[in-house]
Structure 1
């Protein structure tokens, strides 16, 4: 049975809430609906940055000390406002939506401690929007010994099946963290985080230039990368680990550039991000012949140029060029995952998160 699912995603880049509607049976996507976006205000971003800093000390996934409780209320309200605006703009009735997939905002990801924390109150959201909400997608995977990330690969596979393209291929999502889905026919699905995505670049631009990100990679394009610094950074143990593996947004925050110009700093961090992505190729069964790039990183022209250089002779193209909605893919994915969760289908697999057996997940909150 086909379901109309609304996916909500607030990523580690802290930019805002993506909204996307899809029609799916949890196995295939029958149709893409409209998508939307509700940016976080500067006040909300500041609150979330404080919450991220305080979350480092969390020992229990349901604890909300300090600013975390306020941040959770703000995240829930922002998602409710995003749904209200989206349905009004697209003249969609709440009764026409079967399920909402609500990821929440990740503030801590420590799978080695069996701890992953996404703030956002699913029950309060369901009451506010009058639609059943599936939330808390990652907890069951982590509790069972999985990495709890990445969760989008099963949706990437559904999208890739429509391309009729010779494999192997890789779908690369560059949000705050970068993650890859490796697809080779219907049976081979491997996934992992590769390292930093936009997080290091965004944080650097905010700290040095008071800008939220490096628009189109213009700052990085003017600088020169410090190859010796990148080589040292790539010696961190994470990059030699085979998939599956996952990261917290702030796992590389301790890396310091020293005294460099803003342009050279942006260039170095952009080149480090692409070199980290390229490192995964040697850890895959075969080098991908083609790469499809989604997420905010696909709009960074300097990052895309560096990726093409790092991954040659493979092709590298933005998801939008294939008719996919690169910015909405993760939101679509959580609508898809909500539909799968409703039907008890697996959301994660041994080769995507390291969980011992294929796992379903998610918790349903009804209005």
Structure 2
């Protein structure tokens, strides 16, 4: 019997807080994966302002006491409306209606994440109103993907590894393989020759660089790595950063975007600071390779960091293996995480695992997500 094929829309707004990515996917929730239309919408000043205010309020809250309701509500309303607009655009691109879509995977905006520790249980908070998006679009919505994993003792991140492994299997990619995501935070999926996986957050990636260069003028990021290229690396300071205990912590493990900040470059020129933070992002990934059962023969890179040639060159130099953007194997790097949440939404509908012990440290394979049904 042929596997049931679902048509799903997935959305992702990452910790870089620069915009929304969306994609339509036809999938069975396993290795039958057919990408269709996709888009990327930058946040306008209003939406970005609400998100930044929510993140600031979330840091002050720190999971203690009542949530900052007003700041969260403004951001959630703006995000949910933007996702409804993006849904309409995707449907128009494919000549579809809401009746042609089985589910929307709505990740929402992460504003605070705390990994579990001996001192405190893990917590995670993503903003976005699943029920409201279902009403606005007329399509069933799955959101709040990470909460069940965290409640069961998992890290709640990263959530892309099962999708990375499914794509690698579909495409017959040579293994052992590393799939690196350079977003606000870096993470890696290590796929062994036999298909076994290990995944974890490697350390900071674009987040501290963006915050550092954003402190002067109207820059949002170090375009083309130009500032880092012009800077001089303080190698001793870099080695000091690599002595952080996080790198000695056995995976699976995860980070909040603010666990490593641009303050690491305090006192340096803008160019030298960019050079330090860029090299640190690359070196963090390479430190992560030490946990691999089999060192990858190749790294393929997704996330915004793959567009930074200075960061990619640093990764190649330090890893000593071929390093390529995921486009080199035919994957869509701009919307890979949007595809992921379409795929995970289908798995959620089917009651299948979204995370496993080797990806988040959860005790057993864990499904998740909250389903909001559209009005009939």
Q: For residues 90-105 of structure 1, what are the structure 2 equivalents within 5 Å?
A: 90-105=94-109
Identify which of 50, 68, 72 aligns with 1:68: 72
Per the alignment, residue 299 of structure 1 pairs with 307
Moved more, 212-221 or 144-153: 212-221
Q: For residues 268-307 of structure 1, what are the structure 2 equivalents within 5 Å?
A: 268-307=276-315
User: How many Å apart are 1:29 and its aligned residue?
Assistant: 2.9
Per the alignment, residue 142 of structure 1 pairs with 150
Tell me, what secondary structure is at the counterpart of 2:171? coil
> Which deviations, in whole Å up to 9, do the C-alpha atoms of 1:251-301 show, x marking residues without a partner?
112733233222111111100110111101112212111101001111011
The 8 Å contact of residues 61 and 117 in structure 1, kept in 2 or not, is answered as: no
The 2-side partners of 1:107 and 1:90 are apart by 32
The 8 Å contact of residues 192 and 294 in structure 2, kept in 1 or not, is answered as: no
> Which deviations, in whole Å up to 9, do the C-alpha atoms of 1:11-35 show, x marking residues without a partner?
0000111001111111113411011
1:208 aligns with 2:199: no
The TM-score normalised by the length of structure 1 is: 0.96
Identify which of 74, 82, 85 aligns with 1:81: 85
The 1-side partners of 2:87 and 2:254 are apart by 29
Identify which of 349, 366, 370 aligns with 1:359: 366
In structure 2, list runs of 5 or more residues that go unmatched: none
User: How many Å apart are 1:323 and its aligned residue?
Assistant: 1.3
User: How many Å apart are 1:219 and its aligned residue?
Assistant: 1.5
Tell me, what secondary structure is at the counterpart of 2:8? strand
> Which deviations, in whole Å up to 9, do the C-alpha atoms of 1:196-249 show, x marking residues without a partner?
111011111111243011112121111111111111111111111121000001
Moved more, 196-205 or 158-167: 158-167
Per the alignment, residue 51 of structure 1 pairs with 54
Identify which of 344, 347, 350 aligns with 2:351: 344
Moved more, 86-95 or 127-136: 86-95
The 8 Å contact of residues 181 and 189 in structure 1, kept in 2 or not, is answered as: yes
The 2-side partners of 1:229 and 1:208 are apart by 22
The 2-side partners of 1:350 and 1:61 are apart by 31
The 8 Å contact of residues 109 and 128 in structure 2, kept in 1 or not, is answered as: yes
Moved more, 221-230 or 121-130: 221-230
User: How many Å apart are 1:124 and its aligned residue?
Assistant: 0.3
User: How many Å apart are 1:89 and its aligned residue?
Assistant: 3.1
Per the alignment, residue 107 of structure 1 pairs with 111
List structure 1 runs of 4+ shifted beyond 4 angstroms: none
The 1-side partners of 2:282 and 2:65 are apart by 32
**Residues 129 and 61 (structure 1), Cα distance of their counterparts in 2 relative to 1, 3 Å cut:** farther
The TM-score normalised by the length of structure 2 is: 0.94
